[in-house]
Every structure is written in structure tokens, then in C-alpha cells.
Structure 1
């Protein structure tokens, strides 16, 4: 809340008029009126007396402890995504920078908007050279969030920094970030909370919590582990194990009811590593087709409660331009770039963006 609104609300709470405030502080009534309109601000020498008069403290008066609620952050982020969709990434990026300048110490805002911009930039289809300016500022947001007093926000931001440093091959910095993170607690609060809600008859709340945990933590973590193990096997030259891990990843995606797209990530890693043109193009066809196929979560027994609130919409179609740009520009697929069938496939889906 801006200072002008704090002055006005605190004045009304204690039942004083603008004239009375002016008289107590030895200023004019129009001056107090301007303070409350936000057109001018009190002289710094008046602030201690004004805070005492309004029965508040300087931190509150100067908004030092001010933050945003989760609902306000969620509403703002929706506006940013709408703006990016209508006017491009730069417009949404500017909105975020303006907001965090007004709330520079709100850790939740810093971390949430950094995640949002990270995802939007990845899906923008922008070339790497143009991404760099934005990426550095997004990393700066994570760094600020990593200094939050909130342990949860701090750990999440630190985790993202470790991931970013790894992506830039800054391995020492990545290790520094990882060393700051706590090991996973043996006590699973979410499971305990769900069990409590079940006993209380709050079945929908319990189901939503467990379904989100299964989707966002357990199943995705399993997929991530399998893909990493597959990468190790490929680097060791153990193609047989890598192929088997790719099969397991596919099976796991089906078992956990994940989006069809997830089934093809691991097999593509094997095929592209081996520079197998036929298999790579076949898998790419499946991946690109999957992006345009909605994820029907509501048909899954695993996610039927959270599917009601989910807005999958055209997520795959939105990510298609970025996926095509990656396939066309990533050196991992250089062995395909001169292939006629590959070029036709890219043109076919480029026309569907």
C-alpha cells in the first residue's frame, strides 16, 4: 500500500481530520491533502512525529515491510501472461521490472515472476543472442529471491540458480548453490496433511494435495532421474542400458498418466545421441504431433480432482514455435538439418504455429 493511502487510512482509523493532522504537525491543510493524494510527500523531518501521531511505526509508514498477497501476485502474473500473448515478451518483461521496483523486497513476487519470465522466454522462439539480455536479468531476480527471509522461497530460488549455473557450465557456482540447499526432510508434511484431511472428511482437499504432489514432485522427479541415468549410460557408451532406460521412461509416462509428449523425450535423446536419422525423424514426428494433442487430465484416475481447475488449453501449441526453433538450431540435431524429410517436417509444423 503506498504511503499516501497509509496516511489516509491511519488518519481515519484514529478519527482525525486533515486539519487536525496539519495543526499537530505545524503544516497547512492543503499540504496534508497533497500527501493523501500522493502528489507530494511529508518532509523527512516530519516522519517520526507523523508516525507517532498516526499510532504506527516508520516501517509501516514507509512501506518497508510491505509485500503482496499470493492472490495479488497470481492476478498480476496472469496479466503479464496475457500481455505477452497479445504484445510480445518485451511488454510483459517491462511489466515485471516495473512491479519489482515497487516491491523490491517481496520474495514471492521476485521468485514467481522470475519463473514466469523464464518459461515465457523459453517458449518465445527467440534466438539465443536475443535471449541473453533477458536471461541475465531473470537470473538477477532469482538471486534477489534467494536472499528472502522465507526459507521456502529462498530454497526454490537457490535451486533455480543451481540449475541455471549448470546450464551455463559454471559448475563451481552450481555446487555453491546446491550446498546451500537442505537435504529432503524425512518427515513428509504434505502426506501428513492429506491423511488429516481424509480423517476429517475433507476428501477433495486431500485428493488435490496428493494429486499435485504426484504430478509436480514424484512423477516428474522420476522422469528426470531416468533421463539423467540415460544420459550417463550414453556418455559411458552403454547404448543397451540407455535404450532400456528410454523404454522405462516411456512406460513411466504412461503409468503416471503424463502428457503424451513426455513419452518421447528419452527415446529422442538416445536416437539423436547415436545420430540415427530414421529413428530421430520418426520420434520427432510423434513429439510434434503430441504438442497439438491436448492433455486430457480429467480422464485420468490420478488427476481427476486437479483437472477440474487445470487450464491445459493450447499449451502445446504455444510451445510449438520454441520447440521448432530448438530443433532447427540445437547442435544435437545438426545431423538432421540437411535431410529433406526433416526439412519438410519442420515446414509442415511451422505452418501450424
Structure 2
């Protein structure tokens, strides 16, 4: 909170008028009025008596150690998302940077803003060249968060940096980040917390924790299977790649994931083999799935999960980004001569225009 707001709120809280503050400090009432409007600041010699008068310490008066609560950061992130939707990514990015300048030591804010902007940039549909000017700045935010005192946020930021460096081919830096991360604890806090909720008959809370954990774990398994497909493809082990891809598809169906997840690994194999027919069939399924929201709570496995306070609304806005990738990524180049592929893109471009 800015200095002027601190003075105004604390003055009102203890029931003093601007005139009384001015009288007690030996200044004019207009001077106090200017402090509270942010037009001017108190003289440095007045700060200690002003803090004592307002019954706060200097750190509080000057916001020296002040951060934001998780609730405040959450509200701010929603505001940024709204700004991005209404006014574009650049406006939301500027809003995030300005907030961090106001709270430069709030690791949670810095990391949350970096994650939000990172995701929004991916979904923006910008060209690679346009994304580049923001990408390095988002990396810099992760690097700042990786130095914060909050262990959880620091480790999350370090993990994101490791992933980013790997994606850029900066393998040395990626390894440095990974070496900073602790091994996963053998003690499962989430399971223990859920068991505690169960014995207290707080069943909704227990189920919500366990369902989110299950969703995280199965998505991690899916990520591992995709990496194993990639390895098999690079080893020229096509049969093994196809087998692992089928396991990935079966797992997605078994654990009732979004239909979109079922086709990722098989498509990865079809692309590696440049199999035009299989690729188009799988792209049809993927684009169809991407056009359909995943109603999570309809699955008995995830019926307690709420996404951003709005149950069953996963998958929105992915279609334009997916189309842009299919059209522009060189790995789909072998499909560009196919009339069926061109017709498929045309069909879904038209659908995007109606969204």
C-alpha cells in the first residue's frame, strides 16, 4: 500500500482529522492533505513522530517489509487476466510489471505474475518473433522469484527456469537449476491432510485434495509417457513408440481425462513417421476435442474439483492457439500438400471466428 494510503487509513482508524495531524506535527492542514493525496511526501524529520502519532512503526509507514497476501495476489491476477482479454497482452504485461515495482520483494507476487504472463503469452497466438520480446522479461521474473525467501515459490520458480533453459537448449543452466531442487519428500503431506479431513468428516475437503492430487499425478505420468515416446522415436524404435503411445491413450481414458489428452502421444508418433493419413485422422480428433469444454465434475473421479470457481469449464480458448501451431510449426510441413489437411484448417478457422 502506498505511503499516502497508509497515512490516510491509519489516521481514520485512530479517529484523527487532517487538522489534528497538522496541529500535532506543527505543519499546515493543506500539507497533510497533499500527503494523503500523494502530491507530496512528509519531510524525513517528520517520519518518526508521524509513525508514533499513527501508532505504527516506520517499517509499516514506509511499507518497507510489506508484501501481499495470497488473496490479494489472486485478485490482482484476475484483474490482469481481465485486462489482457479486453485490451491485449501488452497492457496486462505492463500492469503486472508495475505491480511488481510497487512490491519488489514479494516473491509470491513475482512468481504468480510470471506464471500468469507465461501462460497468457502461450495462449496469445502471437508469432514467435512477437513473443520473443516478452519471453526474456518473463524469464527475468522467474529468476527474481528464484531468489526469494519463500521456499515453495523459490522452488517453483527454479523448476520453471529449468524447463525454460532446457527448451532453449541451455542445458548447463537447466542442470544448475535442477541441482537446486530438493528431492521429493517421502512424507506425503496431501495424503495425510486428506486422511485428517476424513476422520473429521470434512469429506468435501478431503475429496477435493485427493482429486487434485490424482489429476496432477496422472498428468505427470502422461508427461513421462510422452518423453518415452520421444526417446523411442529418436532410437528409431517405431513399434515401442506406438506401444507407449497406446498406453498413454489408454491411461487418458482410464482416468477420465479430457478427450484432447488421448490423442497427443499417438499424434507424436504419426508426426515422427510423417504418416499423412494417421496424422489427419488424429488432428480431426484433437481439434474436435479442443472445441469441446471438459466438464470435469461430471466424472466420478473429479466431481469435487472446481476450476477457478467455475466447475467444468476446462479447454476454452485453446483452439485458436492450437490452429496457429498446426499452421506454422515446421513439423507439420509434410501435410501442407494434402487437400484434406487444408480443408480441415479452413473448417476450424471458420469455427474460431464464431467463438
Q: Scaled by the length of structure 1, what TM-score is found?
A: 0.94
The residue aligned with 1:175 is 175
The residue aligned with 1:332 is 331
What's the CA shift for 1:346? Answer: 1.0
The residue aligned with 1:115 is 115
Task: Give, in whole Å, the separation in 1 of the partners of 2:247 and 2:237.
Answer: 16
Q: Is the 8 A contact 2:296 2:311 kept in 1?
A: no
1:49 aligns to 2:53 (yes or no): no
1:104 aligns to 2:107 (yes or no): no
SS at match of 1:286: helix
Tell me the alpha carbon deviations over residues 43-74 of structure 1, each in whole angstroms, 9 at most, x when there is no partner: 22322332234332222111122222222222
The residue aligned with 1:318 is 317
Task: Give, in whole Å, the separation in 1 of the partners of 2:270 and 2:310.
Answer: 33
Task: Give, in whole Å, the separation in 1 of the partners of 2:10 and 2:93.
Answer: 35
What's the CA shift for 1:15? Answer: 5.1
What's the CA shift for 1:311? Answer: 4.4
Do the aligned partners of residues 27 and 45 (structure 1) sit closer, same or farther apart at CA in structure 2, a change above 3 Å counting? Answer: same
The residue aligned with 1:129 is 129
What's the CA shift for 1:26? Answer: 3.3
Q: Is the 8 A contact 2:297 2:311 kept in 1?
A: no
* Pairing 1:1-353 to 2, within 5 Å after superposition: 1-14=1-14, 16-215=16-215, 217-307=216-306, 309-313=309-313, 316-353=315-352
Tell me the alpha carbon deviations over residues 282-306 of structure 1, each in whole angstroms, 9 at most, x when there is no partner: 1111100110122121221110011
Moved more, 316-325 or 160-169: 316-325
SS at match of 2:294: coil
What's the CA shift for 1:274? Answer: 1.1
Task: Give, in whole Å, the separation in 1 of the partners of 2:174 and 2:225.
Answer: 21
SS at match of 1:280: helix
Task: Give, in whole Å, the separation in 1 of the partners of 2:296 and 2:23.
Answer: 64
SS at match of 1:159: helix
Aligned length: 351
What's the CA shift for 1:319? Answer: 1.2
Task: Give, in whole Å, the separation in 1 of the partners of 2:112 and 2:312.
Answer: 19
What's the CA shift for 1:194? Answer: 0.4
Moved more, 204-213 or 12-21: 12-21
Moved more, 133-142 or 96-105: 96-105
What's the CA shift for 1:276? Answer: 1.0
Q: RMSD in angstroms over aligned alpha carbons?
A: 1.8
Task: Give, in whole Å, the separation in 1 of the partners of 2:160 and 2:311.
Answer: 24
Task: Give, in whole Å, the separation in 2 of the partners of 1:199 and 1:171.
Answer: 47
Moved more, 294-303 or 124-133: 294-303
What's the CA shift for 1:190? Answer: 0.8
What's the CA shift for 1:203? Answer: 0.4
Task: Give, in whole Å, the separation in 1 of the partners of 2:14 and 2:125.
Answer: 55
Moved more, 10-19 or 154-163: 10-19
Q: Unmatched 5+ residue regions in structure 1?
A: none
Task: Give, in whole Å, the separation in 1 of the partners of 2:112 and 2:265.
Answer: 29
SS at match of 1:343: helix
Task: Give, in whole Å, the separation in 2 of the partners of 1:61 and 1:251.
Answer: 59
Q: Is the 8 A contact 2:297 2:312 kept in 1?
A: no
What's the CA shift for 1:222? Answer: 0.6
Task: Give, in whole Å, the separation in 2 of the partners of 1:7 and 1:82.
Answer: 30
Task: Give, in whole Å, the separation in 1 of the partners of 2:100 and 2:246.
Answer: 45
Do the aligned partners of residues 317 and 299 (structure 1) sit closer, same or farther apart at CA in structure 2, a change above 3 Å counting? Answer: closer
Q: Unmatched 5+ residue regions in structure 2?
A: none
What's the CA shift for 1:128? Answer: 0.2
What's the CA shift for 1:335? Answer: 1.3
Task: Give, in whole Å, the separation in 1 of the partners of 2:289 and 2:13.
Answer: 58
Q: Is the 8 A contact 2:194 2:207 kept in 1?
A: yes
